[in-house]
């Protein structure tokens, strides 16, 4: 404008102009494109390239709201993603799916909110039956020579049990089946893949009496 030149190229591309066609070269925009891989735009707020100093505040005041709204558009996709994530957390629960975490990110301590599931309909009409009951936990007692020796010397019974059964479940199953109290329960996995349990009875119970009761002798 100062030289009386009107740039007709400015109205091309619906008033948007690629950086390579910008009349000012070797500027900050070119540096960011090449070296920083950064997207940067240049906005011309007036057709006058060299306005007077007293007019500069008016350019800012007239365009401030529009510029701020333009910058807000960057976060639209992020806000939508956060909203969808919050909706999913409310419907399915925060900890319903475990995801991989980046171990290189510093995690600061913060309060974690949980949401109680509120299904619109019952997921199951009846409660699930416990398949691992005491009859399934204790498969069979061992009657080998070494097992009988432990029964006589250490007051200990040996059983083949379910692989998924833990020590507490084994203890409860033996107590319910044979009406005995135990001092200790140990387990191991055999080479054939079966799980063996060593059940040491309490001092006031005799392992031989239990073996006679279950008919292992």
Measured distance CA(42)–CA(17) in Å, rounded: 10
Contact 198, 151 (CB under 8 A): no
DSSP alpha helices (H): ranges in 32-107?
Answer: 56-72, 76-92
Contact 86, 115 (CB under 8 A): no
Catalytic residue of the set 44, 69, 78, 194: 44
In the residue annotation, 158 being an active-site residue is answered as: no
Return phi, psi of residue 182, to 5°: -115, 150
Tally the C-alpha atoms within 13 A of residue 204's C-alpha that lie toward its C-beta: 3
Measured distance CA(10)–CA(12) in Å, rounded: 6
* Residues known to be catalytic: 44
């Amino acid at each position: 404008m100062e030289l009386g030149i009107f740039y007709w190229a400015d109205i091309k591309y619906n008033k948007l102009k690629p950086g390579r066609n910008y009349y000012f070269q070797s500027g900050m925009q070119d540096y960011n494109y090449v070296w920083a891989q950064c997207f940067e735009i240049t906005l011309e707020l007036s057709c006058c390239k060299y306005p007077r100093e007293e007019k500069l505040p008016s350019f800012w005041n007239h365009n401030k709201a529009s510029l701020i709204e333009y910058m807000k558009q960057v976060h639209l996709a992020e806000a939508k993603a956060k909203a969808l994530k919050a909706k999913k957390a409310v419907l399915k629960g925060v900890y319903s799916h475990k995801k991989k975490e980046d171990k290189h990110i510093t995690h600061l301590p913060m309060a974690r909110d949980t949401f109680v599931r509120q299904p619109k309909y019952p997921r199951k009409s009846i409660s699930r039956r416990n398949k691992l009951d005491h009859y399934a936990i204790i498969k069979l007692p061992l009657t080998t020579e070494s097992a009988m020796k432990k029964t006589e010397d250490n007051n200990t019974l040996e059983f083949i049990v379910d692989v998924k059964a833990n020590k507490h479940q084994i203890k409860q199953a033996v107590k319910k089946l044979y009406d005995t109290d135990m001092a200790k329960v140990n387990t191991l996995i055999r080479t054939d893949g079966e799980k063996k349990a060593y059940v040491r009875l309490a001092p006031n119970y005799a392992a031989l009496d239990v073996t006679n009761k279950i008919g292992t002798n």
